[in-house]
Amino acid sequence: MGTDLREQFLSPRRLFELADTIAGQPISQLCAEGPLERLTQTEIAQPAVVVTSLAALAVLQEQLDVKPAAVAGHSVGEFAAYVAAEVLTPEAALRLVQVRAQAMAEACSAVDGTMAAVIGLDEAAVHAFCAEASQSDSAVEVANLNSPGQVVVSGARAAIDRVRQIAKDRGGRVLPLNIGGPFHSVYMRPAAETLAQALEETRFRAATVPVVLNSTAQASQEPAELRRELEVQVYSPVRWIETVQRLAELGCDQFLEVGPGMVLSGLVRRILPQAKIASFGSLAQLPEVRSLLQIAVA
């Protein structure tokens, strides 16, 4: 994650060094060498994903002068999106992510929770299953609306097991996810409260371009709304289908995924089959980005 960017360019190197300092952890080394079981722990994974995204963003800005027309981020990816829209500085984003990651790790330790993908059922049906499966001591909620036919649920493991049986009886499938806890559910409210204090102490600027928010799929450029979003999204569903559709309504027909992996590119293809899409998280993908943006090689 980001190793070739760090080796080739100064800005990514400095960003990873900053992430190491803020986290008090060897984020750079873990991104380069693993082990995977350590890298995927909540308190490491979140800063690792964001710093890799910021490193990729810095390369795009410095080498290709990429300027977005609008931005969105999926879950913790909203922090990198805010940097792209100049709402937060990279340092402020990394400091907030560190608070978020630690608070969410603590919230996860208080419950035996996880997440799972429900395949082949619509949002209304999954909401109904979650209501039926939830009990006073074990709740489950819709967490991510990722693409048509894929709804992710989050909550107590016992409640998700009940959702799995309900879905099976009614023609759906539930696939467990290798996730560190019940993110984007009621169990994350304590983490949101901790993060809220750090958000209040951080300067938010007006966004230079529209930011489409996870929790509402509405576009905003207002600092107060953008601050509130980062608190609310911790325990709210990520409305990714509507987010991508909103970007299209804003006139976006080219989508560039910035950061590690290509998961979001795949989701966008399912939501907007006609969209032009590229991913950038490593130097090998630069030709793909140039092609998308029709930038000639100097």
> 3-state SS of 95-161?
HHHHHHHHHHHHHHHCCCEEEEEEECCCHHHHHHHHHHHCECCECEEEEEEEECCEEEEEEEHHHHH
Quick one: which H or E segment has residue 200? helix 189-200
List the catalytic residue out of 11, 28, 138, 184.
184
Query: Structure tokens of 55?
Result: 């490193």
- Residue 216 CA to residue 168 CA, distance in Å, equals 30
- Residue 181 CA to residue 210 CA, distance in Å, equals 31
List the catalytic residue out of 75, 147, 265, 282.
75
- Residue 236 CA to residue 176 CA, distance in Å, equals 20
Burial class (CB in 10 A: 0-12, 13-18, 19+), 221: middle
184 catalytic? Reply is yes
Question: Are 253 and 246 a contacting pair, CB within 8 Å?
Answer: no
- Residue 243 CA to residue 237 CA, distance in Å, equals 12
Q: How does strand 254-258 pair with strand 140-147?
A: unpaired
75 catalytic? Reply is yes
Q: Which residues are catalytic?
A: 75, 184
